[in-house]
Amino acid sequence: MGILVYLIPIALSLGLLGLIGFLWTMRNNQYEDLDGAAWRILFDDDEGDLPQQYGPKNASEKASETTLEKDPKK
């Protein structure tokens, strides 16, 4: 029974530490983009096969990226 004097505060402090960690992740928007990571792992970075919502924001940004890659002068 004497061991409960140590185990109960340790259990409560670990639970409090977990709650603080969870609240910190919520405050720092760690759960904002849950689908993005799931899609990014399925495709290679160099192929550019991501769906439009996870790719470049608009067509002009996409055009400027391809221009920079294919421009032999730069």
Quick: pLDDT tens for 53-66.
655 555 555 555 55
Q: Is the Cβ–Cβ distance between 50 and 39 less than 8 Å?
A: yes
pLDDT for residue 14 is more than 60: yes
Q: Coil, strand, or helix at residue 13?
A: helix
For residue 56, tell me if it sits in a domain: yes
Number of separate domains in the chain: 1
What average pLDDT does the structure give for the chain? 77
Domain limits at 70?
34-74
Q: pTM score > 0.85 for this model?
A: no
Q: Is residue 55 part of a domain?
A: yes
Within-domain flag for 8: no
69 occurs within a structural domain: yes
Residue 18's pLDDT band, with cuts at 50, 70 and 90, is: very high
